[in-house]
Amino acid sequence: MYETLPTNSKTRAYIHLVLSWVQSIPYNELKNRLTSNGAGYLPPLSVIANNQGDCDSKTVLMASLVRSLFPDVKMTMVFLPHHALLGIALPLRKNGQTLNIDGMDYLLMEPTGPSKIPLGEISNRSAQYIAGNMYSLEEVL
């Protein structure tokens, strides 16, 4: 990953690269026992090995990859009705979609794909759930 971008690249560039890759992994609800274990979740290595994952599986993969690249960055899983996203404490830019948690802004991202939604942008549906306070959080340790 480090060799893909120039040496002086910012954290945001690496995260955007990883996000784009995770979004390219095909989406699968993981409920069919013929194509998954039927549990609706795959751990990160299984998402990669099976080249498929649902929203929470791909979000956990994204968090795992970010953690391996940047061990000290603060992250939170954002659980919406039937969906999951990731928030990361990065310096903000003008138009990034954020969620303020205990006085800290977390830049949001949609690892699910298949659309290549850039870092700091989320779907309209996700934004509606967040605006309506229909979410729960889990800190990524």
Write out pLDDT tens, residues 67-110: 999 999 999 999 999 999 999 998 777 788 999 999 999 999 99
Which region among 29-43, 106-120, 122-136 has the lowest average model confidence (pLDDT)?
Answer: 29-43
**Angular region, 39: left φ>0, alpha ψ -120 to 50, beta rest:** alpha
Which region among 10-14, 35-39, 71-75 has the lowest average model confidence (pLDDT)?
Answer: 35-39
**CA–CA distance from 41 to each of 20, 52, 53, 89 (Å)?**
21, 10, 7, 25
> Could you tell me the domains of the chain?
11-140 (3.10.620)
pTM for this model (two decimals): 0.89
